[in-house]
A and B are shown apart, each in its own frame.
Chain A
Amino acid sequence: MALPLHATTGEKIWYYAFRTICGLIFFFLIAPIIVVIPLSFNAVPFFTFTEAMLTFDPAGYSLKWYQDFFTDLNWQGAVKNSFIIAVFSTLIATALGTVAALGLSRPEMPARTMIMGILISPMIVPLIIAAAGMFFFYSDIGLASTHIGVILAHAAMGTPFVVITVTATLVGFDHSLTRAAAMLGANPTRTFFKVIVPLILPGVISGALFAFVTSFDEVVVVRFVGSYQQRTIPWAMFSGLREQISPTILAVATLLVILSVLMLTTVELLRRRSDRIRGIDQ
């Protein structure tokens, strides 16, 4: 919507005013995330810019919060737990979710709406309610404060994303391809790995990424189902923000921003690839 040459003054004013407003809103969206990055290099333990930082005095900057993060056992334990829990829960969620999506997208699937409703309920139910329910139930069966308990809980919460993304990839799926494979002599297993998997792979991977992020960013359930032994990065950040505020949290935040940039790029590349494979024009 470029400004036409014959625009009146009023239209011009409106055009630039509108763009300014949009610019401010974009600023509101992105500024808080950007601000974290320089603050994490603060030489003093404050959550704000110091005089030395504003004058670009090298003495105002330091890497000590990063050093603190990489040497502190509390944080390193959290990193380890975060990855263990996220990787295993993603594996479970992706495997179960992909297979279920294959079933759900078959036209002869009975009671589809009801089953879909139950399968995506972990995405709908407020986290605190899920946390409360799991807290009671997992304590009763002895899985509270164990890695397995947290992994199972996170896997359940990640599955809706896998189901939704894989089902979406299967919407344009041409079922004559599997018939063609069968006709050419492939057995169902071979058909699955050679024909179906390559086609739905982008959906599977982006579903897996969603499941991974869900677990990696989850704090409510892990706080109730787990204990200090299962502390994850968000868990440590949450208690850090509540107790003693140290810029180490901002250093962690910066590293997480970099991680999310990587994730965003991957998902975007996958989406383009998927659209290309399925022949959807951009």
Chain B
Amino acid sequence: MTSATATDANPAGTGEVMTADGVPLRISLARARRRSRNRALLLVAPLFLFVLITFFIPILSMLFRSVENQIVGETLPHTVEALQQWDESGGDLPPEEVYAALVEDLRIANETKTAGKVGRRMNYEKSGFASLFRTTARRIKRIEAPYKETLIKAKKDWGELETWQVLKRESDAYTLSYYLAAVDFSYTPTGEVLKLPDDRSLYVGLFWRTIWMSLLITVLCLILAYPISYLLSTLPVKTSNLLMILVLLPFWTSLLVRTSAWIALLQKEGVINDLLVWVGLIGDEHRLTMIHNATGTIVAMTHVLLPFMVLPLYSVMKTIPPSYMRAARSLGATPFMAFVRVYMPNTVPGIGAGALLVFIISIGYYITPALVGGQSGTLISNFIAYHLSISLNWGLAAALGTILLVLVLALYILYDKIVGIDNMKMG
């Protein structure tokens, strides 16, 4: 509030309440409200800007990278311009001017050492482009007019219609080809969209595997979390606080510690296999393969994410009065009936919150699958990391990342609708 106080009606007789300094109360209040609103905004501004710059903009720029394709136009400006005149569906090779433009561009590219880059970019569209550009750029000094003839003589790929069709298609500043690749489609040379044959399809299957494994992990977490949350919520506070440590300690322990623990437990020469051999359940030569496959990922991730299911379930179960069950029993329900018809419906908010949280976290999980997943247990995140740091196909990594991000954000909107992000509890 302001220091102003409402006084009697103003002398003008309009009936408006005035403050002591002669300003109408309405205006004075609005001003005060604006001032305190600005003060609130000012407090939030530093963090807002910080997150915007260090986090939000990087992610937006990554989204942009999934469609960005400036490199072709920047490295081969004359060629791109000359290709505009050429009709790619006519069946004829481009005219001499296009070849001349290409030679001119490649001369510059050879000096600035950018020919390799554009070659690598084009290689994602059609394999062979990388070496085509590299070799041509290296020999560019020896290429003389008539360019069309000598270029084709130097590298016969330049005499193929497809080469030029692909080049013209990818000469725009923006491309959808990364997204197409991310969902197992590709362009034909003339620009039609075609599904890849099954043996070359990878990512749709991978997305389904990620979703399927995340669902499985969520269900396993729910099955394991439900009984212990119930126990924790019904025990006396002292005992339940003590048992809660068993949930919170894993929650607070480094992820790498838990993952290395599972490696020690699950590997061929590991604790569980040793135990089984010692008990005599399996022979020494039939040790189970529980790691570097989907089993390893599922077991370790269920363990890692279990606390995220227990905590919301527990906080919901604690609020259910025990009298509900007693009432159901006294009205003639069997214990099972009372549990299914009275108790379980009351825990649905906790189930929803925990399940969504576990699902969202596991769908974008990277570390545990990378260490214990092997071939069959890797998720979409691992492929994003692969394209970022090994294959260096950053456009595809960005496209896969964008699809994953959209998926996660959609789930979070759902979470917000059901639980409310403000109600997220930790610790």
Q: Which residues of B contact A234 (CB under 8 A)?
A: 254-256
Whole-angstrom distance between the Cβ of A193 and the nearest chain B Cβ: 16
Contact of A47 among B44, B54, B270 (CB under 8 A): B270
The DSSP consensus for interface residues of chain A is: helix
Q: Ordered nearest first, which 3 A-B pairs have the shortest CB separation?
A: A126-B364, A103-B43, A137-B58
Whole-angstrom distance between the Cβ of B349 and the nearest chain A Cβ: 19
Determine whether the beta carbon of B384 is less than 8 Å from that of A118. no
Q: Does B267 contact A (CB under 8 A)?
A: yes
Q: Does B258 contact A (CB under 8 A)?
A: yes
Instruction: Choose among A35, A97, A233 the residue with the greatest number of B CB atoms under 10 Å from its CB.
Output: A35
Q: Which residues of A contact B264 (CB under 8 A)?
A: 35-36, 39, 47-48, 250
Contact of A137 among B44, B61, B370 (CB under 8 A): B61
Q: Does A138 contact B (CB under 8 A)?
A: yes
Contact of B51 among A1, A119, A133 (CB under 8 A): A119
Contact of A133 among B59, B247, B259 (CB under 8 A): B59
Give chain B interface residues in 250-288, CB to chain A under 8 Å.
250, 252-265, 267, 269-271, 274
Q: Which residues of B contact A261 (CB under 8 A)?
A: 249, 252
Binds A, one of B89-97, B114-122, B188-196, B418-426: B418-426
Determine whether the beta carbon of A133 is less than 8 Å from that of B260. no
Q: Which residues of A contact B54 (CB under 8 A)?
A: 134, 152-153, 155-156
Determine whether the beta carbon of B46 is less than 8 Å from that of A96. yes
Contact A118:B51 (CB < 8 A) given known A109-B41, A261-B249 = yes
Q: Does A75 contact B (CB under 8 A)?
A: no
Determine whether the beta carbon of B421 is less than 8 Å from that of A257. no
Q: Which residues of A contact B401 (CB under 8 A)?
A: 128-129, 132-133
Whole-angstrom distance between the Cβ of A40 and the nearest chain B Cβ: 10
Q: Does A163 contact B (CB under 8 A)?
A: yes
Determine whether the beta carbon of A96 is less than 8 Å from that of B228. no
Determine whether the beta carbon of B261 is less than 8 Å from that of A36. yes
Binds A, one of B132-140, B178-186, B231-239: B231-239
> In the complex, A242 Cα to B247 Cα: how many Å?
28
Give chain A interface residues in 66-94, CB to chain B under 8 Å.
92
Give chain A interface residues in 189-235, CB to chain B under 8 Å.
206, 210, 213, 216-217, 219-220, 224, 233-234
Instruction: Choose among B47, B227, B260, B424 the residue with the greatest number of A CB atoms under 10 Å from its CB.
Output: B47
Determine whether the beta carbon of A33 is less than 8 Å from that of B364. no
Determine whether the beta carbon of A29 is less than 8 Å from that of B250. yes
Determine whether the beta carbon of A128 is less than 8 Å from that of B381. yes
Contact of A159 among B47, B384, B426 (CB under 8 A): B47
Determine the interface band of chain A, counting residues with CB < 8 A from chain B: 35 or more
List 10 other contacts, CB 8 Å, given A32-B250, A96-B46, A136-B58: A1-B235, A35-B265, A35-B271, A46-B269, A126-B366, A129-B364, A132-B398, A133-B62, A153-B54, A271-B427
- In the assembled complex, 24 residue pairs joining A and B whose CB atoms fall closer than 8 Å, in A order, are A11-B335, A18-B227, A22-B231, A26-B228, A29-B246, A32-B262, A47-B269, A47-B271, A49-B274, A99-B43, A100-B44, A100-B46, A109-B44, A126-B366, A129-B404, A130-B55, A164-B424, A167-B422, A224-B388, A234-B255, A241-B256, A241-B259, A257-B249, A268-B248
A11-29 interface bits toward B, Cβ cutoff 8 Å, 1 = contact, 0 = none: 1000000110110011011
Binds A, one of B17-25, B32-40, B144-152: B32-40
Whole-angstrom distance between the Cβ of B249 and the nearest chain A Cβ: 6
> In the complex, A136 Cα to B387 Cα: how many Å?
13
Q: Does A106 contact B (CB under 8 A)?
A: yes
Q: Which residues of B contact A269 (CB under 8 A)?
A: none
Contact A128:B265 (CB < 8 A) given known A103-B44, A156-B51 = no
A240-257 interface bits toward B, Cβ cutoff 8 Å, 1 = contact, 0 = none: 011001000110010011
Q: Which residues of A contact B422 (CB under 8 A)?
A: 116, 167
Q: Does B371 contact A (CB under 8 A)?
A: yes
Determine whether the beta carbon of A253 is less than 8 Å from that of B254. yes
Which residues of A pack against B, CB within 8 Å?
Answer: 1, 11, 18-19, 21-22, 25-26, 28-30, 32-33, 35-36, 39, 46-49, 92, 96-97, 99-100, 102-104, 106, 108-110, 115-122, 124-138, 140, 152-153, 155-157, 159, 161, 163-165, 167, 206, 210, 213, 216-217, 219-220, 224, 233-234, 237-238, 241-242, 245, 249-250, 253, 256-257, 260-261, 263-264, 267-268, 271, 282
Contact A110:B271 (CB < 8 A) given known A96-B46, A99-B46 = no
Contact A124:B260 (CB < 8 A) given known A115-B48, A137-B57, A156-B50 = no
Contact of A129 among B62, B246, B252, B260 (CB under 8 A): B62
Name which residue of chain A comes closest to B226, CB basis.
Answer: A25
Q: Does B78 contact A (CB under 8 A)?
A: no
Q: Does B65 contact A (CB under 8 A)?
A: yes
Determine whether the beta carbon of A110 is less than 8 Å from that of B37. yes
Contact of B303 among A32, A49, A122, A220 (CB under 8 A): A32
Q: Which residues of B contact A21 (CB under 8 A)?
A: 227
> In the complex, A109 Cα to B37 Cα: how many Å?
6
Contact A121:B256 (CB < 8 A) given known A133-B62, A164-B424 = no
Determine whether the beta carbon of B258 is less than 8 Å from that of A128. no
Determine whether the beta carbon of A25 is less than 8 Å from that of B224. yes
> In the complex, A215 Cα to B264 Cα: how many Å?
25
> In the complex, A235 Cα to B53 Cα: how many Å?
25
Q: Which residues of B contact A92 (CB under 8 A)?
A: 50
Contact A224:B50 (CB < 8 A) given known A30-B246, A127-B366, A132-B397 = no
Q: Which residues of B contact A159 (CB under 8 A)?
A: 47, 50-51
Determine whether the beta carbon of B427 is less than 8 Å from that of A206. yes
> In the complex, A28 Cα to B367 Cα: how many Å?
20
